[in-house]
Amino acid sequence: MVLIIGKGGVGKTTVAAGLAAAEAKRRGKAALVEFGDGEAGRRALGTKHREVDHVVLEPQSAITRLGGAVVGSDLLARAVLENFAISRFLGAAPAVRELAMLENVRAVSAERPDRRVFVDMPATGHGVAWLRVPAQMRTLLGSGPLFDVTDRLCRELVAPGRVSIVLCTLPEHLVILETLELWQAMTREVGLSPSRLVINRFPPDLSPEAVALARRASERAEGEARAALDTLVVTLEARAAAWAEASAVQDRAARETGVPPLVLPQLPVDADASAAASWLAGALP
């Protein structure tokens, strides 16, 4: 099982679909798990990757399935969950959804022993919180059927050797700072060391001498041409700064994690799974 984790907007879906497509290309099959309505995964996979089993987990049915695992019967679980007080409680209680999603991920993977499962984890500011839920609940409960479910999650999902973690990030100083903190926290707080870092939207390096050339041209120009060239200078400077920042981030990530990060280029439009697969092929363990 491979969990793809990162903040919102860093391109987790592209990376998850790309990894699944690369695995399918190599081994003939793979599974991609997505939370929500499945639209993002379908778009990233396109129509080409039929050998990728695309599993969509929707919160409400995930909770019913967790209930079934706890009480031993889906029917009884549904009766309990439809109880007016319980359903209101679940509507407001934290952590239930997280636990339900993780139990469903475990079940999806257990049902597909022949495939590697890639999970596009929900966007969260604190990726570690999700993975801490089973251990927290296990300590809290002490015994009983819900304890058994959390205990199994601790042994079969949030356990070294069972799951690899790929962290996605962006090539910006402050974002990588948070990602490196997350990398450390994963090891310290859940006992899982991430295996790879993927830096998405790495900006292109426009001709390095362009900024200097534009500056010189602007000094010689007059009127409208000069104003236009000044705007070009600012634009090129901003892009050169973004590229320099991205390169520094890449070096820092390699130094602090001890693993060279994988880099996906910035594109004016979305990358599809095939393109991402070709960039990410080296990432598969």
Partner 1 sequence: MTERRPRVIVCAGGGGVGKTTVSAAMALASARAGVPTLVVTVDPARRLADALGITIDSEVRQIDVEPSAGDRLYALMPDPKRAVRLCLDYVFEGESAARDRVLENSLYLALEDSIAGVHELMSVVLIERAVATLPLGCVIVDTAPSRYALDFVSYPGRLATLLEGRAMAWLSGLAARLVTGPASAQGILAWGRRRIERVVSAALGPRVIGDFAAIFADLSHVRKRFSAITRKAEALLLGPSSRFVLVAAPTGAARADLNHLARRVHQLGRATSAVVLNRADVGPPAWVEHVLASDPTPPLVDAVRIIEVERAARTGAANAASAAFARRWPGVPQVRLPAIAAASPREIVQRLADALAPSLGTLVG
Q: How far is CA 148 from CA 26, 42, 60, 138, 155, in A?
A: 36, 34, 21, 8, 10
Q: How far is the CB of 169 from partner 1 (least distance, A)?
A: 12
DSSP string for residues in 143-177: SSHHHHHHHHHHHHTSSTTT-EEEEEE-SSHHHHH
Residue 233 or 284 having the CB closest to partner 1: 233
User: Looking only at residues 83 through 122 of this chain, which bind partner 1 when binding is defined by CB under 8 A?
Assistant: 83-86, 88-89, 91-92, 94-95, 97-98, 122
Contacts 24+ apart (CB under 8 A), 203-212: 203/171, 203/239, 203/242, 203/243, 203/246, 203/266, 204/243, 204/265, 204/266, 205/243, 206/236, 206/239, 206/240, 206/243, 208/240, 210/236, 211/236, 211/237, 211/240
- Distance in angstroms (rounded) separating the CA atoms of residues 102 and 51: 24
Residue 109 or 150 having the CB closest to partner 1: 150
- Distance in angstroms (rounded) separating the CA atoms of residues 218 and 224: 10
User: Looking only at residues 246 through 275 of this chain, which bind partner 1 when binding is defined by CB under 8 A?
Assistant: 268-270
Q: Which of 124, 193, 195, 274 is in the footprint of partner 1 by CB under 8 A?
A: 124
Q: Using CB under 8 A, which of the segments 111-119, 129-137, 155-163, 257-265 binds partner 1?
A: 129-137
Q: How far is the CB of 26 from partner 1 (least distance, A)?
A: 26
Q: Which structure tokens are listed for 231?
A: 């705007």
Residue 237 or 256 having the CB closest to partner 1: 237
Q: Which structure tokens are listed for 81?
A: 């969950």
User: Looking only at residues 20 through 49 of this chain, which bind partner 1 when binding is defined by CB under 8 A?
Assistant: 36-37, 39-40, 43
User: Looking only at residues 183 through 242 of this chain, which bind partner 1 when binding is defined by CB under 8 A?
Assistant: 204, 206-207, 209-210, 213-214, 217, 221, 224-225, 227-229, 231-232, 234-239, 241
CB atoms within 10 A of CB 8: 9
Residue with tokens 């309990």: 80
Residue 146 or 284 having the CB closest to partner 1: 146
User: Looking only at residues 151 through 170 of this chain, which bind partner 1 when binding is defined by CB under 8 A?
Assistant: none
Q: Which of 3, 5, 11, 276 is in the footprint of partner 1 by CB under 8 A?
A: 11
Residue 11 or 194 having the CB closest to partner 1: 11
Q: How far is the CB of 269 from partner 1 (least distance, A)?
A: 6
User: Looking only at residues 51 through 90 of this chain, which bind partner 1 when binding is defined by CB under 8 A?
Assistant: 70-71, 76, 79-80, 83-86, 88-89
Residue 83 or 111 having the CB closest to partner 1: 83
